[in-house]
Structure 1
Amino acid sequence: MTSVCVAGGTGQVGREVVRLALDAGLDVTVLSRRPPSGTSLAHHDGARYFRADVTTGAGLAEALQGAAVVIDCLEGQFGKARKNFADGGARLLAAAAGAGVRKAVLLSIINCDKSNAAFYVSKAEKERIYALSALETVVVRATQFHSLVTAVFETGAKVRLIPVFKGARFQTISPSDVASALLAEALGQRSAVRHRTRTIGGPDIRTMRELAEIWRAAAGHAGRIVEFPLPGAMGTFLRSGLNLAPSERTGKDTFESWLAKREDSL
């Protein structure tokens, strides 16, 4: 039985990886700074959870023991976590090599090396760490999640306004589709190319206004859609279409079908 260790296995993509791996009959361990309780929605029966911290290295060796592959779904969006994001990746890879892990798969963001936004810069730095690893590595770059634009809409809807970025199009993808791609790469045959990068995208490319209209109808909100320019590095990134991968429509779950599965969209 293949053993898979999921780093960050309690996040929105990580827990989907855990679920799919268990469904496939794999032996699954999860490392997290705060392992979930048995009653948490982030907890999956059958997986073994370990308290571990990539910023210090504590607990990594135990969590990785016996794993053939590690799937890195860790996030570091803010503050200290973002500052130490790449270093944490280096510690995880070093511990994985020490434990005899043969492959590491990293979740990243499409064209993160072409943006000056701090979060994207941290992702690109971590990708470079993976490219220098002694392990075989695969970086899976995904387009933005359905949940990202939904969070923007939900925040604005609290004051009955649904914000839309002018000139922005998205190719949103579901966390479960991303998880499926990560697991497929983890279980794939050894590659002749030691360090590979793969880009995956959602099934449809839509303007943000179109997505807002779909969300408003599904959620039953009466908020007014308001367009405004998004300044800074992220605005430039989105307007240039660097968040799109028209030739890589990997995801199957459309924005509509994903919304229909969410209890709070009814």
Structure 2
Amino acid sequence: MTTVCVAGGTGQVGREVVRLALDAGLDVTVLSRRPPSGASPVHRDGARYFQADVTTSAGLAEALQGADVVIDCLEGQFGKARRKFADGGARLLAAATVAGVRKAVLLSIINCDQSSAAFYVSKADKERVYALSSLETVVVRATQFHSLVTAVFQAGSKVRLIPVFKGARFQTISPANVASELLAEALREPSEERHRRRTIGGPDIRSMRELAEIWRKASGRAGLLVEVPLPGEMGRYLRKGLNLVPSQRTGTDTFESWLAKREDSL
């Protein structure tokens, strides 16, 4: 039986990987700085949880013992986790090599190497770490999640003003669809190409205004749609369409269908 270790298996994509891997009958371990209790909604019966920290290597050896493949869904969005994101990747890969892991799969962001935004830079730095590993590695770059734009709409609706970034279009994808692709890459037969990268996107490309109208109708929330410019590096990234990949409409879960399953996003 294949053993899959999911790093960051309690995050929004990681827990979907855990669910899918268990459904497929795989042996699943999860490493997290804060493993969930059995009563937690993110805990999955059948998975084995280990406390581990990629910024210090504490607990990595135990979590990776016996694993055939590691899927890295760690997020590192803020503070120390972001500053040490690439270094944490190096520590994880080093521990995986010692443990005899044969492949590592990394979740990343579309065109992260074409943005100077701090979070995107940390992703690109980590990709370069993976490209230098002695393990076979696959980097899966995804477009933004449905939950990203939803969070913006939810925040604005609290003051009845729903922001719509001027000139921004999105090809949002569901975490479950991303998880499915990560797991598929993890289970794929060994490749002659030691380090591969692919980009996946959601099924539809829509303006942010269209997405806001869909969300407002589904949620029943009152709020005026207000078009605002998004300055800085993220504004440039979105206006240039660097968040889109029209030729790779991998996801099947549309924004509408995802919202229908997610009461907490309304």
Conserved? CA contact 1:172–1:201, under 8 Å = yes
**Equivalent residue, structure 2, for 1:162:** 162
Please name the residue that 1:215 is paired with.
Answer: 215
Q: State the Cα distance separating 1:145 from its structure 2 match.
A: 0.0
Q: Is 1:256 aligned to residue 256 of structure 2?
A: yes
| Contact 1:160 1:223 (8 Å CA) reproduced | yes
For residue 10 of structure 1, what is the aligned residue in structure 2?
10
* Cα distance change, pair 265–91 in 1 and its aligned pair in 2 (3 A): closer
Cα distance in 1 for residues equivalent to 2:243 and 2:120: 11
Aligned residue for 2:116? 116
Task: Tell me the equivalent position of 1:196.
Answer: 196
Which consecutive unaligned segments of at least 5 residues does structure 1 have? none
Residue number in structure 2 paired with 1:23: 23
Structure 1 residue aligned with 2:89: 89
Q: What displacement does 1:265 show?
A: 5.1
SS where residue 42 of structure 1 aligns? coil
Alpha-carbon distance between aligned partners in 1 of 2:231 and 2:203, rounded to the nearest angstrom:
27
- Asked if the contact 1:218/1:265 (under 8 Å) is kept, the reply is no
| Cα distance in 2 between the residues matched to 1:119 and 1:81 | 10
Indicate the residue corresponding to 1:224 in structure 2: 224
The C-alpha deviation readout for 1:158-214, integer Å capped at 9, x for no partner, is: 001110100000000000000000000000010110000010000000000000000
User: For the residues of structure 2 that align with 1:38 and 1:263, how far apart are their CA atoms?
Assistant: 23
TM-score (norm 1): 0.99
Structure 2 gaps, min length 5: none
- 1:259·1:265 contact (CA, 8 Å) conserved in 2? yes
**What does residue range 42-81 of structure 1 map to in structure 2 within 5 Å?**
42-81=42-81
Percent of pairs with identical residues:
84
| RMSD of aligned alpha carbons | 0.6
What is the aligned residue count? 266
Report what 2:239 is aligned to.
239
Which amino acid counterpart does residue 153 of structure 1 have in structure 2?
A: F
Question: Structure 1 pair 19/57, CA: closer, same or farther in 2 (3 Å)?
Answer: same
Alpha-carbon contact 2:147-2:265 (below 8 Å) kept: no
AA of the residue aligned to 2:217: A
Give 1:41 shift: 1.1
Q: Are 1:33 and 2:33 an aligned pair?
A: yes
What is the rounded CA distance, in whole Å, between the counterparts of 1:265 and 1:151 in structure 2? Answer: 8
Aligned mates of 1:264, 1:103 — CA distance in 2: 35
